[in-house]
């Protein structure tokens, strides 16, 4: 019975870990965000990087969600001479979750000779963890005025991943100073 409860708790904890998106923020001191009116997302060019080819859709969605957040705050997206440039950094790492077998996991054998058992790491699951860093730069001063970093586990199903990216970008902008609409 204890093993069933422990297994249930392990599954619940791993499920909760999948849903989490961890975010941190940093804002420059004494910046008047109301003086900024336009923005541009610094272009991400992944055409020549084969590792990112399957992730292109997610990257495009990420930029689309960033644009939505800035426009919803009253900024105008422009192609030339923006007040703010948003630099997007993306990192995707392959992770492996393991557990160590213990003597309690050892099978019970009676009457066999030369039997030995060793503790070892057992792979529980393999997953990709994504980290997105946004640096918002004041182009007139060439200074970073705001930064947010989010990380979470990427989903294997496309639709779930789309929802997670949208939720993650909303969380990235949660503490962004809202520009008053004029």
Does residue 130 lie within any of the structural domains? yes
Does residue 166 lie within any of the structural domains? yes
CA 54 to chain centre: 17
Does residue 35 lie within any of the structural domains? yes
Number of domains in the chain: 1
Distances (CA, A) of 169 to 29, 55, 62: 23, 16, 7
CATH assignment of the domain containing 81? 3.30.160.670
Does residue 182 lie within any of the structural domains? no
Print the domain residue range for 137: 23-172
Please state which of the ranges 15-19, 60-64, 141-145 shows the lowest mean pLDDT.
Answer: 15-19
Query: What is the tens place of the pLDDT at every residue in 95-147?
Result: 888 877 766 655 655 656 666 566 677 788 888 888 889 999 999 999 999 99
Q: pTM (2 decimals)?
A: 0.71
Whether 79 contacts 124, CB under 8 Å: no
């Amino acid at each position: 019975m204890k093993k069933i409860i422990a297994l249930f708790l392990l599954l619940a904890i791993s499920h909760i870990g999948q849903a989490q998106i961890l975010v941190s923020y940093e804002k420059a001191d004494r910046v008047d965000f109301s003086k900024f009116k336009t923005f541009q997302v610094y272009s991400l060019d992944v055409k020549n990087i084969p590792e990112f080819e399957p992730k292109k859709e997610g990257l495009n969605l990420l930029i689309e969600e960033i644009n939505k957040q800035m426009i919803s705050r009253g900024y105008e997206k422009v192609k030339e001479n923006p007040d703010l440039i948003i630099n997007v950094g993306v990192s995707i790492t392959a992770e492996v979750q393991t557990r160590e077998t213990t003597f309690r996991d050892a099978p019970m054998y009676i009457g066999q000779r030369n039997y030995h058992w060793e503790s070892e790491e057992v792979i529980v699951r393999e997953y990709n963890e994504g980290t997105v860093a946004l640096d918002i730069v004041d182009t007139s001063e060439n200074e970073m005025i705001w930064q947010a970093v989010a990380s979470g586990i990427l989903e294997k199903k496309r639709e779930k991943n789309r929802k997670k990216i949208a939720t993650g970008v909303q969380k990235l902008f949660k503490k962004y100073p809202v520009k008053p609409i004029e």
